[in-house]
Amino acid sequence: MSGKTLGEVRTHMAVFARSGERASSRRGSPWKFVLAPLVVLLMALGFAVAAEAAYAERALPGMSVGGIAIGSLEKAALREHLDLELAAPWAGATVTLSDGGTSWRATNADLGIAPDLDAAVGAALAYGKTGSVLDRVGAWIDALRGEADIPFTMRSRGDALDRWVAAAARDVDRAPVSGELRVTARGLEATKPALGREVDRVATVASLLSADSLGDREVRLRVRFAYPAVDASGFDDAYALASAVVTPLTVTVEDRTWNEGATGLASLLVVERVAAKGGELPAIPGEAIAPSVRYRYTVSLANERVASWVAALGKVLDHPGKCAKYQVSAESAVTVIPSESGVRVDQAKLRALFLEELLRPAAGPTREVAAPATVDASAFTTEQAKELAPKLSLASTFTTYYPPSASRHANISTGATQFDGVVVMPGETFSFWELLGPVTVERGYSYAGAIINNRSDENVIGGGLCQVSTTIFNAISQQGYEIVERHAHGYYIDRYPIGYDAAVFEPGVDFKWRNDTANPVFIYSWSGDTWLKIDVWTIPTGRNVVVSGATQKNFVHPAPDQPADPAFLRGASVDGRDVFRTRTVYENGKVLHQDFFASHYAPVWGGPLPAPATPPTP
């Protein structure tokens, strides 16, 4: 200081300053406008450098972490402060996980969720100390204004959190149910589709670890819908269509009705599951779980099944016109039974109606359809019958006999009357089973003996009807009509002409003949307790019929080990054999038909006679 005192220096400086100001004032004032901003800038830079150096190891003043004020604490103090003010309250806070209907509760401590204090301390100490000068100045301003709050992050220890979310998922997860339509013997069966639910465990854990407050909190369970292979969009329309088809149905034709239930209608359905093409079904939401392949159902009607069903309905609903018939009195007087017009279902129109109507939604729990029908006129009218009656005469007759039996008599007389007065028109084929109708107890038939598989069965409904077919065969054969189908019995029955019988059995064994003349034919029966007579009425044909005698060959006696037949007494037997007969029909001196009837009869017996009793020893 060159011996000057400090006071002298300060005085000197002050003086220097004032003298400088005067000198400057005297020299001019523009420099003060240049120097002033530079001075302020230099002072700010100095302050910033000094502040950055002062807060290099501590947080900026006015800062907070997760809402907790941390002042200007250094690292160790800051860590201790956050542990006290942040971690401890956090551990006791309750976490509620909810899916809207069910809730699961635990504490953060139970789940091992805790604030990451090291990360929070590091973030707090680094705040405002990186980036450009302007960035750091801005950070200081925010801190001084109390707007610098560092969010805390969470971390989990152990697997408690994962196990808790997994337990909630077990309660919530539900596998999707794929829709299914199927037709079984019980009818239409359906499994309606249902969306599944699956907890998004990763997203749920992330939500649990992203809390922004220290208090109790509720976190929404993250759930994704899982779509089945057949969802509602591929199921509902088809199910509605199939349900419409199986709506119980009543079909009416005049006074006749037929009710068809859901099970029967289901048999008409064709249900198919097909892979859905792009754009056929609505898109699945992006956040949902989609199946690898989506399917849809299609429903239609099987045309051939509908046609078959309509044909069966026709047999039930048709009221065929009845041809005129004849009745013969004991005095052989012929009278006419009038014909009747009927109604017949128009099957083609009914089939088309069903194919359209059944696929429409029903207005109620049942559906009614009026079947289109036409008048079925009689093929042989009353007028025709009356005109022909005077020309008819008894052309042939045949009688057979049978042992006394109430049940056999019921069957034979009931069966024969079904053919009384039936007119077989020219060109028409007579079928025993078609004209006979159902053989039931309700119609007067009983259980009696019949031959099945070459053995007698004494408990057959309608047993003895072969007596009717055999008698008709012998009666019409005399007129030379064409024989279409004829079968021999399993074994020879001696009350019938040998090789000239006609067995019938349902199904598959019928007796048929065709009226190959230009005139109608009708038959009439007469029954006694042990006999049956069949008369054939027509305009005489003028044909000549020659039937050969029976040629019998290949006789076979029952074998000793052959089972006994219940219709034969012990010791009684009939040898098996082959029998051949020829029928030749002449018309105008020329052969019109020549039939070769071959009959194979099996041996039958009642078993051996019992051995004679051994006389007692004297």
Answer with the residue of higher pLDDT: 611 or 464.
Answer: 464
Characterise 161 by phi-psi region: left (phi > 0), alpha (psi -120 to 50), beta (else): alpha
pLDDT at 201 over 70: yes
* pLDDT tens digits along 465-478: 899 999 999 999 99
pLDDT at 80 over 70: yes
Provide mean pLDDT across the span 143-152: 83
465 assigned to some structural domain: yes
80 assigned to some structural domain: no
As a whole number, the mean pLDDT across the chain is 85
Cβ-based neighbour number of residue 12 at 10 Å: 12
In this prediction, residue 455 has a pLDDT band, given cuts at 50, 70 and 90, of confident
Beta bridge partners of residue 601, listed in sequence order: 577
For 435, residues 6+ apart whose C-beta sits below 8 A from its C-beta are: 418, 419, 422
* pLDDT tens digits along 249-286: 999 988 889 999 999 999 999 999 999 998 999 999 99
Question: Which of 618, 408, 395, 428 has its CA nearest to residue 530?
Answer: 408
414 assigned to some structural domain: yes
Structural element, H or E, at residue 368: strand 367-370
Tokens of 528: 């006694």
In this prediction, residue 432 has a pLDDT band, given cuts at 50, 70 and 90, of very high
- The C-alpha atoms of residue 410 and residue 462 are separated, in whole angstroms, by 9
What pLDDT was estimated at residue 10? 32
pLDDT at 123 over 70: yes
| Alpha-carbon separation of residue 119 from 39, 116, 152, 153, 276 (angstroms) | 40, 5, 8, 7, 52
- The C-alpha atoms of residue 458 and residue 448 are separated, in whole angstroms, by 5
What pLDDT was estimated at residue 514? 95
Range of the domain at 547: 392-605
In this prediction, residue 419 has a pLDDT band, given cuts at 50, 70 and 90, of confident
| Radius of gyration in angstroms for the set of CA atoms belonging to the chain, rounded to a whole number | 56
Interhelix angle 160-172/201-208, rounded to 10 degrees, is 130
Dihedral, 362, 364, 366, 371 alpha carbons, nearest 10: -50
Tokens of 244: 């419409």
417 assigned to some structural domain: yes
Provide mean pLDDT across the span 117-132: 85
424 assigned to some structural domain: yes
Whether 217 and 95 have beta carbons less than 8 Å apart is answered as: yes
150 assigned to some structural domain: no
User: DSSP E strands: which ranges in 66-110?
Assistant: 68-71, 94-98, 103-107
* pLDDT tens digits along 303-333: 999 999 999 998 888 888 888 888 888 778 8
Residue 490 is classified by DSSP as S
Instruction: Report helix, strand or coil for 109.
Output: helix
Q: How many folded domains does the chain comprise?
A: 2
Please state the φ and ψ torsions of residue 128, each to the nearest 5 degrees.
80, 10
Residue environment code for 237-255, b if the CB has 16+ CB neighbours within 10 A, otherwise e: ebbebbbbbbbbbebebee
User: DSSP E strands: which ranges in 447-510?
Assistant: 447-452, 455-461, 482-485
Strands 249-253 and 367-370: parallel
What pLDDT was estimated at residue 6? 32
Please state the φ and ψ torsions of residue 272, each to the nearest 5 degrees.
-130, 140
Structural element, H or E, at residue 156: strand 154-156
What is the number of helices (H) and of strands (E) in the chain? 17, 36
Provide mean pLDDT across the span 483-509: 89
What pLDDT was estimated at residue 474? 94
- The C-alpha atoms of residue 121 and residue 134 are separated, in whole angstroms, by 23
In this prediction, residue 25 has a pLDDT band, given cuts at 50, 70 and 90, of very low
84 assigned to some structural domain: no
In this prediction, residue 29 has a pLDDT band, given cuts at 50, 70 and 90, of low
Instruction: Report helix, strand or coil for 93.
Output: coil
pLDDT at 19 over 60: no
What pLDDT was estimated at residue 304? 94
Q: Where are the alpha helices (DSSP H) in 209-362?
A: 232-245, 262-266, 303-317, 347-357
Of the spans 64-78, 89-103, 287-301, which averages the highest pLDDT? 287-301
* pLDDT tens digits along 363-401: 889 999 999 998 888 778 888 888 888 888 888 999 999
* CA-based torsion, 287, 290, 292, 294: positive or negative: negative
Question: Which of 534, 435, 549 has its CA nearest to residue 476?
Answer: 534
Whether 464 and 449 have beta carbons less than 8 Å apart is answered as: yes
